[in-house]
Amino acid sequence: MLSAARLVGPVPGIAGVLAFASLLALPAPCAEAPLDFAVDLYPRLETKNCRACHSTSGVASGTRLQFPELGAPQGVIRRFGLGLRRLVNQADISQSALLLKPTNKIPHTGGPLIAADSEEERLLRRWVEYLASEDFDAESTQDAQTERRLEPIRRLTHVQYDNTVRHLLGDSTRPSRKFPSEDYVHGYTNQASAQVITPALAELYGQVAERLANNAFRYGDEHGLLPCEPASPADRACARAFVDDFGAKAFRRPLTDSEREAHVELLLQWAAQGKSFHSGAAAVIEAVLQSPHFLFLVPHANDSPAKPFEVASRLAYALWNAPPDEELLAAAATGKLETRSSVDAHSRRMLASDLATETFDNFLAQWMRFDRLRNSVKDRNRFRDYGPEVAESMTEESRRLFRHLAWNDLDFREFFTADYTFADDFLTKVYGMSDPSVPFGKTEYPADSTRSGILGHGTFLAQTGKPIHTSPTERGLFVREHFLCQAIPPPPPGVDTSLPPLTLGGRPMTIRETMEELHASQPVCASCHKLVDPIGYGFEHFDTVGAHRETELVRVEPTPQQEREGAKATEHSLPIDSTGFVAGIPDSAFGSPQDVGRILAQSPICQKCIVRQLFRYLFGRSETSRDTEVIERAYNRFEQSGFVFRELVLGLVVSEEFLATDWSD
């Protein structure tokens, strides 16, 4: 058995070194500055933790100010400093947002970060004066447009691995189930930064390759793997034909001469040992399935003969989670994937396939974290209508809404505002609706319902609830992270995040009242909770399984001493306050989930978050400031199309950045 670890181990490391080296080759500013922004001022701003909010994933991501990523090279930081000119009032620098916001002279969500008359303010003023001066060279703010970001080498995901071996060998056993689970990073399980091949995974690749190879010819050539009938175990011509055919399918490109000869010799070595041709072919299959050219999507230079095949592979695995079909490979071989228009045409054909539907079902399942819903635990004594079958119905409900909008080319903003759903009798029992005439058929919500798109689905409401009670914090956090693409820092170590129990003698309080009172007494918690809790309060009319309720049933327990004295727990039905707001979005006060859905649907922050979520899934990495242009172009296409999801997909995959190529049109 070949060593997969030896074959694939060095590849990601080399890519990482090259990518890091490319980031260091940044141009220096053209004009002479009065101070070195990267050395004299930026470290002081770092101590204020500005990046926590002003980043691609911060709560201020919708503003004009975004800080470089942690650990960015000094060249990037200097260009960032020059780009701050857009926050300078050229006519009156004292009125510059760059001066007034951090000092809180203009109300700043983060409060005063720089004290008046401090050294930080004096340095900041010097920089503002420079940016407003005639000495400043405006051209120095422009990024080097020719700078090419090296995309990381990506390993086939487990889903892609299974689809590929089924395509190659007709094996539908889903062998990746033996592999370790893939971790969620940046919200998805396909992120290149987490695709490390550990020794354990390398060994499993070898074991699976051996099993697949042994099974390939167990009952003769039942899967039609051989393009010829071998005249003998040592039939070199047939061996070359098989290696060429199978190798090209597995590597998604024609083999090089050296690759072809190496695998032909491997096959013929078995014949020299008295083995059958099928045994030699199985040895080739085992070797190919452990090659980095099978396990990875390997980038090639634009002038490489393999480049068109790389384009075909990136498209196929993005849109189908599977290898390219014969039509796509033929287009690559005949030079028909070298223009934007031809790639767009092939992408549209591929998006019409059931394979694309399955691929973006997978995107939805990860974006909405169906796994958390399936693993959520509820008190079955209190919620008898909820169970695993209901959780599965909830995922199907969301899947049907997504498919309805995405593949009928409807306004995707209805994902947040739809006044209809796709339910079965399991769900209608929980939701308190009439059973649909057809399971998972399109069903209008009752006129008095406040459910709104995905925000009314159990996939959102049930996975963000506790076993007994709701969690406004979890619901608000989900909205921030999944629909606004904003990261909220975790609580400090050692902080008890559980709510204090309500005991006899105290005032019965709703979850909201308890949280507001608790956070009012703990300012260190309030700074983050004020960003998420007011959003979560809007869903308090839905309990922890997503059922509607008019009041909140609060149970007040006796203390151990009171219980010994014979006291019993009491229950109280308390009115619910579902008003709230979304900090960072103007005019975002709301009173119901329908209002929240409308606010999200109309917010460019949410609209761009959809773009960013899809970017992460398709590119296999999180977006950075260097990706602003491709995200903006995709967003503009999305918006101009009337928010058609298919056009958003095309806006990302039919791009030079995604395919790492230069178009001829």
**Which of 55-64, 227-236, 411-420, 496-505 is predicted least confidently?**
55-64
Which pLDDT band, with edges at 50, 70 and 90, does 32 fall under? very low
Task: Considering only residues 419 and 197, tell me which one the structure prediction assigns the higher pLDDT.
Answer: 419
List, in sequence order, every residue forming a beta bridge with 503; answer none if it has no partner: 557
Compute the average pLDDT of residues 268-272: 93
With residue 614 as reference, give the H or E element that holds it: helix 604-619
Q: What is the pLDDT of residues 211-264, one digit of tens each?
A: 999 999 999 999 999 999 999 999 999 999 999 999 999 999 999 999 999 999
Residue 85 CB partners (closer than 8 Å, separation 6+)? 131, 132, 136, 138, 141
Residue 144 — very low, low, confident or very high, per pLDDT cuts 50/70/90?
very low
Assess contact for 108 and 102: CB atoms under 8 A: yes
Cα separation, 414 vs 422, whole angstroms: 14
What are 431's strand-pairing partners? none
Question: E-strand spans in 242-301?
Answer: 296-297
DSSP string of 218-230? BTBSTT---SS--
pLDDT at 108: 73
In this prediction, residue 149 carries a pLDDT of: 52
Residues listed for the chain: 665
For 546-563, how does the pLDDT look when each residue is reduced to its tens digit (9 = 90+)? Answer: 999 999 999 888 888 888
Q: Tokens for 321?
A: 């989670």
Q: Amino acid identity, residue 536?
A: G
Q: What are the tokens at 189?
A: 């399980």
Helix (H, G, I), strand (E, B) or coil at 577: coil
Task: State how far the Cα of 482 lies from the Cα of 369, in Å rounded to an integer.
Answer: 10
**pLDDT score of 134:** 65
pLDDT band at 354 (very low <50, low <70, confident <90, very high): very high
Q: Which helix (H) or strand (E) holds 100?
A: helix 97-100
Indicate whether 10 pLDDT > 60.
no
The domains of the chain are located at 31-136, 154-356, 383-601
Q: For residue 548, with 0-12 CB atoms within 10 Å meaning exposed, 13-18 middle and 19 or more buried, which class applies? A: middle
The pLDDT-based confidence of 518 (bands split at 50, 70, 90) is confident
pLDDT of residue 33: 54
> Helix, strand or coil for residue 480?
helix
Which of 56-65, 339-348, 364-373 shows the lowest mean pLDDT across its residues?
Answer: 56-65
Pick the residue with more confidence: 119 or 401? 401
Is 105's pLDDT higher than 50? yes
Q: How many CB atoms lie within 10 A of CB 187?
A: 18
pLDDT at res. 110: 66
Residue pLDDT, tens place only, 167-226:
999 999 999 999 999 999 999 999 998 998 889 999 999 999 999 999 999 999 999 999
Asked if pLDDT for residue 26 goes beyond 50, the answer is no
Helix runs in 445-575, H state only: 458-461, 472-478, 511-520, 523-536, 560-564
Nearest to 57 by CA among 185, 150, 189, 193: 185
What mean pLDDT do residues 498-514 have?
Answer: 83
Would you call 14 helix, strand, or coil by DSSP? helix
pLDDT at residue 7 tops 70: no
Can you give the pLDDT at residue 148?
A: 46
Beta strands 420-423 and 551-556, pairing class: unpaired
- 75, two tokens: 């060249």
Kindly state the tokens that stand for 647: 């056009």
Contacting residues for 193 by C-beta, under 8 A, at least 6 apart: 152, 185, 621
Report the alpha-carbon distance of residue 82 to residue 138 in Å, rounded. Answer: 8
Residue 214 exposure: Cα atoms within 13 Å on the Cβ side: 7
Structure tokens at 202: 């390398």
Lowest-pLDDT choice from 337-341, 496-500, 654-658: 496-500
> What confidence category does residue 136 fall into, taking pLDDT thresholds of 50, 70 and 90?
low
Residue 419 has pLDDT above 90, yes or no: yes
The residue behind tokens 């401090």 is 118
Among 23-37, 102-116, 364-378, 614-628, the least confident range: 23-37
Task: Report d(CA 580, CA 595) in Å as an integer.
Answer: 10
Q: Average pLDDT, whole number, for the chain?
A: 87
How many helices (H) and strands (E) are present in the chain, helices listed first? 30, 6
Residue at 480: amino acid letter: R
Confidence grade of residue 664 (pLDDT, cut at 50, 70, 90): low
Asked which of 1-15, 385-399, 589-603 is least confident by mean pLDDT, the reply is 1-15
Confidence class of residue 3 from pLDDT cuts 50, 70 and 90?
Answer: very low
- Residue 435, CA atoms < 13 Å, CB-side half-sphere: 5
Q: Given this model, what pLDDT does residue 661 score?
A: 80
Predicted local confidence at residue 578, as pLDDT: 96
Q: What is the pLDDT of residue 415?
A: 98
C-alpha closest to that of 4 among 280, 204, 250, 256: 204
> Which long-range CB contacts under 8 A does 164-173 form with residues at least 24 apart?
164/250, 164/294, 164/322, 164/323, 165/212, 165/289, 167/249, 167/322, 167/323, 168/246, 168/249, 168/250, 168/323, 169/212, 169/215, 169/216, 169/223, 169/225, 169/285, 170/222, 170/223, 171/212, 171/215
- Using alpha carbons only, give the angle 599, 601, 602 rounded to the nearest 5 degrees: 65
How much is the pTM? 0.82
Name the pLDDT band for 159 (thresholds 50, 70, 90). very high
Report the largest interatomic distance among the alpha carbons of the chain, rounded to a whole angstrom. Answer: 94
Given 3-state DSSP classes, what are the helix, strand and coil percentages for the chain, each rounded to the nearest 5? 50, 5, 40
Give, in order, the Cα–Cα distances in Å from 239 to each of 100, 234, 258, 279, 280. 74, 8, 15, 12, 9
Q: Which residues pair with 296 in a beta bridge?
A: 155
Q: According to the model, what pLDDT value does residue 125 have?
A: 85
Residue 490 buriedness (CB in 10 A; 0-12 / 13-18 / 19+):
exposed
The predicted structure's pLDDT at residue 1: 43
Give residue 18's pLDDT.
Answer: 29
Could you tell me if 431 and 385 are in contact, meaning their C-beta atoms sit under 8 angstroms apart?
no
Exposure letters 96-111 (e unless 16+ CB within 10 A, then b)? bbbbbbbbbeeebebe
pLDDT at residue 161 tops 90: yes
